[in-house]
Amino acid sequence: MGLIEILKKVIIDTDNTMGMNFRWNDDGLAILYSLGAEEIQIIGITTVFGNSSIKNVHKQTNRLLTSVNKTEIPLLKGASEKEEINTAAAEFLVDQVNSNPKEITIFGLGPLTNLYAAQKIDPNFFEKVKEIILMGGITDERLTIGRTKIKDVNLRNDLAAALEILNAKCPVTIINCHICKQVPLTKEYFGQLDFWPDIFLDKLENEFWLHEKVHKLDHIYIWDVLVPMYLTHPEIFDDNDIYLKASNVEDLQEGRLVETENTGAAVNMPQNIIDKNKFYNIIIKTWKDLDKKVRETEHGYINFKNGKVGRSIMKSLFSLMIPIFLRLMYEKHGEYYYEK
């Protein structure tokens, strides 16, 4: 079997904020994993609002690709708000799927607005997609993160889009928030990433710091990384074919996924990571393989600045603001802070 035959064609739809101080890094980590995985051919990356504004998301994703010498990968700007249809990202999705029917896997790493828009442009869009692997959704009323109980982090930002994708006429795999908690990035594993440039390490250190201050945790979660990991190594997940209640947006309020019997949206929603040691070994090796490739290029890593003075000032400001943030965004009940 030749190389072209075994490559998995992928479009990554992302709300990446890796590069911004004190923001989520998991989208960026998922992109870096996808770049390092020899099984994956990235056809393009589309951006969407979510973790930040579309302006910030697109800027940081472009910056990330530039930093690792991957600017040849098409990058298309998508929706700035839910139900936005006419975007370059949506047109790109339609064009690529029509050119490569039943060959492209789409990673949904943020709100699913761009995929929803592609379906509105081409009503047969999903029938030509090979599969969708998305991250998001919760099966309980809240997700416990340390001392906080939060809502879903992706699907609830565009419930109409989520409803459309769950009922899509193509295989859909959901990596929900709960399974992501099974493989946190601990400080022990973080210590094995010392091959990375300071800018990556500094952003992750900021996230560790923020999680300790807000959630009282000594680790972080790498949510979206499980999406490309599922594509390249499905054997470490336990496939779980189920039906979800998804007849209208009310069924998905706050991004909650409710299982039903024999009717509803047919999806695969793995519940467990079967081999956690293998999971960590693979992600670290794949990131390290990419790092080696980048350093072997003529320019190595590009456009990286540390800005440690700025981060130090921001940490001081954040320390003062966190109690205010908790009061504004959460309600205290017993030992937990519940997201409003």
pLDDT tens digits along 62-87: 999 999 999 999 999 999 999 899 99
Q: Is the pLDDT of residue 137 over 80?
A: yes
pLDDT value at position 228?
A: 99
Residue 106, H or E segment: strand 104-108
The span from the CA of 150 to the CA of 140, in Å, is 10
What's the topology of domain 3-309? Inosine-uridine Nucleoside N-ribohydrolase; Chain A (3.90.245)
pLDDT value at position 94?
A: 99
pLDDT value at position 155?
A: 97
Region 268-280: mean pLDDT is 98
DSSP assignment, residue 218? S
Region 319-337: mean pLDDT is 92
Torsion of CA 25, 26, 32, 35, to 10 degrees: -150
Radius of gyration of the chain (CA): 19
Q: What tokens were used for 106?
A: 């789409």
Region 247-273: mean pLDDT is 96
Helix (H, G, I), strand (E, B) or coil at 132: strand
The residue among 304, 237, 229 whose CA lies nearest residue 66 is 304
Average pLDDT, whole number, for the chain?
95
CB-CB contact of 241 with 268 (8 Å) = yes
Q: Is the pLDDT of residue 311 over 80?
A: no
The span from the CA of 266 to the CA of 168, in Å, is 9
pLDDT value at position 2?
A: 47
Region 31-41: mean pLDDT is 98
pLDDT value at position 154?
A: 96
pLDDT value at position 261?
A: 93
For the ranges 11-25, 195-209, 262-276, 295-309, the lowest mean pLDDT is seen at 295-309
